Amino acid sequence: MSFKAPAGNHGGQAAAAGRAASSLDSHLADEKGKSLPCPGLLAPVPDHHLVHAGDACDPLAPVRNADPSRPFVVAQLGQSLDGRIATISGESRWINGRGALDHLHGLRASVDAVLVGVGTVIADDPQLDVRRVPGSSPARVILDPRGRLPRGCRCLREDGVRRFVIRADARGVPGDAEEIVLGQEDGELSPASIVAALFDRGLRRILVEGGAATISRFIDANCADRLHLLVAPVIIGSGKAGLAMKPVAALAQARRPFTRLHVLGGSDVLFDCDLRSGREVPV
Ligand SMILES: NC(=O)c1ccc[n+]([C@@H]2O[C@H](COP(=O)([O-])OP(=O)(O)OC[C@H]3O[C@@H](n4cnc5c(N)ncnc54)[C@H](OP(=O)(O)O)[C@@H]3O)[C@@H](O)[C@H]2O)c1
């Protein structure tokens, strides 16, 4: 790869940007070897880092076919082009279109458990079922360390699906939902212990659906195998940001997962990021 970082002045940047765009064209190739246009990219990207998945490539296949001998965690986040998940007033419905929603329900139908933080339950009161696609609804898991879960929230309804509330202290849960009490580390529930507790209960494939705080903690703890980032072509410009992870000291330490790009119906783009690729991380 011959690309050099842009020079520190504007003239140099413009020239380097042109070189970068043409150089990067050869690195953004679909699986049949056809180049994708990538105008405006200024950073060098390793070879074969991003591939355009063909129409025949099912983004749910890696979830469904995950190694049955170990837990598998997929996180999903729907966001705007500028990485927002809500306006400044908290309005978040709807940033993404029907393609992303169908995909989310397909993800739910492909896993054993869907997990959300209590912040999402308070904000959205989600049902966490698969009403948009055929299949079975997964078990529902709520991270509620301090007992903030609202009474009567829809995710705890009794509909025959297993429900779990993960707490730092025993507080009790309604009906036949199950409470899991886990010790905290540095004031937080460790994502690894959450995954292990669910695996012990027969829940192997886990969808971490949101919100941003919960997903960020799972990725920071190296407890997510894949990230499905669903990007809608809308610019909100301010408001609630998506991922907010621990800072890296240098760009070289940033994750660059191998990523497959899928264009979904209804104008959403899915970046399917393999978080076990790209750089060596302690597990
Ligand atoms: N765009 C999307 O795809 C998407 C998906 C879902 C939700 N959302 C949006 O996201 C927003 C809510 O997200 P959020 O980031 O504010 O909240 P959240 O991630 O839903 O919940 C965060 C809370 O869950 C608990 N929690 C999560 N992980 C924990 C851990 N490892 N250890 C201990 N506690 C943990 C904590 O509860 P305590 O504070 O009680 O300790 C924490 O404050 C809403 O606006 C919702 O609409 C967007």
pLDDT in tens, 230-277: 999 999 999 999 999 999 999 999 999 999 999 998 789 999 999 999
**Cα 89 to Cα 85, 92, 139, 238, 239, distances in angstroms:** 11, 9, 31, 10, 7
pLDDT in tens, 172-192: 999 999 999 999 999 999 999
What residue ranges line ligand 1, CB within 6 angstroms? 77-79, 85-86, 90, 92, 116-120, 123-124, 143, 145-146, 148, 188-189, 191, 209-214, 217, 240
Q: Which pLDDT score is estimated for 279?
A: 52
Q: Considering only CA atoms, which of 113, 118, 120 is closest in space to residue 142?
A: 118
- Mean pLDDT computed over 219-227: 98
- For 20, the domain range is 1-30
Q: Where are the beta strands (DSSP E) in 60-173?
A: 72-80, 84-86, 113-117, 139-143, 163-167
Is residue 45 helix, strand or coil?
coil
**pLDDT band (50, 70, 90) for residue 283:** very low
Distance CA 98, CA 101 (A): 5
**Cα 103 to Cα 14, 65, 76, 177, 221, distances in angstroms:** 39, 17, 10, 27, 25
Q: Which pLDDT score is estimated for 267?
A: 85
With respect to residue 283, please indicate whether it lies within any of the assigned structural domains: no
Q: Considering only CA atoms, which of 153, 81, 96 is closest in space to residue 123?
A: 153
Same domain, 24 and 99: no
Distance CA 162, CA 178 (A): 8
Same domain, 65 and 24: no
Same domain, 22 and 129: no
With respect to residue 80, please indicate whether it lies within any of the assigned structural domains: yes
Same domain, 1 and 67: no
Same domain, 147 and 266: yes
- β-pairing verdict for 113-117 and 205-210: parallel
Q: Which pLDDT score is estimated for 49?
A: 82
Range of weakest confidence among 36-40, 84-88, 224-228, 262-266: 36-40
Same domain, 10 and 131: no
Same domain, 13 and 126: no
Q: Which pLDDT score is estimated for 164?
A: 98
pLDDT in tens, 46-90: 566 889 888 889 999 999 999 999 999 999 999 999 999 999 998
With respect to residue 179, please indicate whether it lies within any of the assigned structural domains: yes
With respect to residue 130, please indicate whether it lies within any of the assigned structural domains: yes
Distance CA 123, CA 116 (A): 11
- Mean pLDDT computed over 91-96: 92
With respect to residue 280, please indicate whether it lies within any of the assigned structural domains: no
Same domain, 86 and 116: yes
Same domain, 173 and 38: yes
Same domain, 11 and 41: no
Q: Which residue has the tokens 């076919």?
A: 65
Q: Hey, which of 120, 141, 216 would you mutate to test ligand 1's pocket, going by the most ligand atoms within 8 Å of its Cβ? A: 120
CATH of the domain at 265: 3.40.430.10
Q: Considering only CA atoms, which of 104, 103, 75 is closest in space to residue 195?
A: 75
Name the pTM for this structure: 0.85
**How many structural domains compose the chain?**
2
With respect to residue 40, please indicate whether it lies within any of the assigned structural domains: yes
With respect to residue 102, please indicate whether it lies within any of the assigned structural domains: yes
With respect to residue 209, please indicate whether it lies within any of the assigned structural domains: yes
**pLDDT band (50, 70, 90) for residue 15:** very low
Same domain, 23 and 57: no
Both structure tokens of 158:
């009794």
